[in-house]
Amino acid sequence: MDIFRNKAELQNKITQLKQNNYSIGFVPTMGALHEGHISLVRCCNKENDITLVSIFVNPAQFNDREDYEKYPRDVQKDIDWLKEFNCDIVFNPSETEMYPEPDNRTFDFGDLDKILEGYYRPGHFNGVAKVVSKLFDYVHPHKAYFGEKDFQQLAVIRQLTKEENMEIEIVGCPIVREEDGLAMSSRNKRLNSEERKNAVEISRFLFESREKKDEMNVEGLKNWVKDQLNKNVYINVEYFDIVNEKDLKPVHSWSESKDIRGVIAAWVGNIRLIDNIKYE
């Protein structure tokens, strides 16, 4: 496995591989890897000759300094793990390598980056777009893999590639969960044991809401989920919305679309977690 910290070296390697007609699959991450990330690596391995994983905690996408500083980091462990899962190349740049000068670009995703996560984390998706567009520019992978756990991010990335006419296939991969149902997240490592025990209620009520869907209208179900979760003293729901998967705008009735998803952000103590569920 090659490990590059320098983008020129990475680009040399990618150029060589492309000259030899290897297909390149790319999995961008912020490290502190878990099975969710590994599922993307597995999928990438299956569909491409070369699997490239980037590890970079991107300051531009954090709107909360403390969240950035306390974000879990364990690059050596990540690298050891990636070797085991047949990753071919790791790109682990420094902040100055990624941002040698200030990046003042602003991206316009219409309403998509202003609702839900975009509303509660202003500037977040602009920061994501900055780093992903740079990474895509260095690598021009054939395919890039993103988790449905960050459902809105996946939609933003699809729009980014469309607007910038990048010929990169964006592949969305299903959410990987802990045994009890909690969506895997690097931030789960920051929960204390009581918080961890209670955090499972987020996924539990999402799954229960799927069972209750036929008994309630959209508004009723939204309130039911929020009420159930807010009864738990450890949990504070920031938003729970029921949206059309295409544009992430709220739906008002179950018949409005076939592709409807419940999306949630909730605080468990000081840790902000997100999750989502498809309503069949």
Q: How far is the CB of 253 from ligand AMP (least distance, A)?
A: 29
Paired strand residues for 183? 177
User: Of residues 10, 14, 24, 30, which one binds ligand AMP by CB under 6 A?
Assistant: 30
Nearer CB in complex with ligand AMP: 185/209: 185
User: Of residues 14, 40, 129, 229, which one binds ligand AMP by CB under 6 A?
Assistant: 40
Q: Length of the chain in residues, anyone? A: 280
Identity (one letter) of the amino acid at 80?
A: D
User: Of residues 39, 51, 126, 188, which one binds ligand AMP by CB under 6 A?
Assistant: 39
Q: Interface with ligand AMP by CB under 6 A: which range of 90-98, 143-151, 210-218, 231-239?
A: 143-151
Nearer CB in complex with ligand AMP: 78/88: 78
Annotation says 124 is catalytic: no
User: How far apart (Å, rounded) are the C-alpha atoms in residues 60 and 123?
Assistant: 8
User: How far apart (Å, rounded) are the C-alpha atoms in residues 84 and 93?
Assistant: 21
CB 136 within 8 A of CB 129: no
Phi, psi of 54 (to 5 degrees): -105, 145
Give the closest residue to 152 by CA, choosing from 61, 216, 230: 61
Nearer CB in complex with ligand AMP: 195/275: 275
Give the closest residue to 13 by CA, choosing from 168, 132, 100, 140: 140
DSSP string, 249-276: PBPSSGGG-S-EEEEEEEEETTEEEEEE
Q: Is 78 in the site for ligand AMP (CB under 6 A)?
A: no
Q: Is 185 in the site for ligand AMP (CB under 6 A)?
A: yes
User: Of residues 10, 14, 98, 183, which one binds ligand AMP by CB under 6 A?
Assistant: 183
x/- mask, ligand AMP, residues 152-181, rule CB under 6 A, reads ---------------------x-xx-----
Name the DSSP letter for residue 175: P
Q: How far is the CB of 144 from ligand AMP (least distance, A)?
A: 9
Name the DSSP letter for residue 241: E
User: Of residues 7, 124, 142, 149, which one binds ligand AMP by CB under 6 A?
Assistant: 149
User: How far apart (Å, rounded) are the C-alpha atoms in residues 97 and 95?
Assistant: 5
Q: How far is the CB of 19 from ligand AMP (least distance, A)?
A: 29
User: How far apart (Å, rounded) are the C-alpha atoms in residues 240 and 238?
Assistant: 7
User: Of residues 88, 117, 150, 195, which one binds ligand AMP by CB under 6 A?
Assistant: 150
Q: Is 130 in the site for ligand AMP (CB under 6 A)?
A: no
The catalytic site residues sit at 37
Residues that bind ligand AMP (CB under 6 A): 29-30, 36-37, 39-40, 146-147, 149-150, 173, 175-176, 183-186
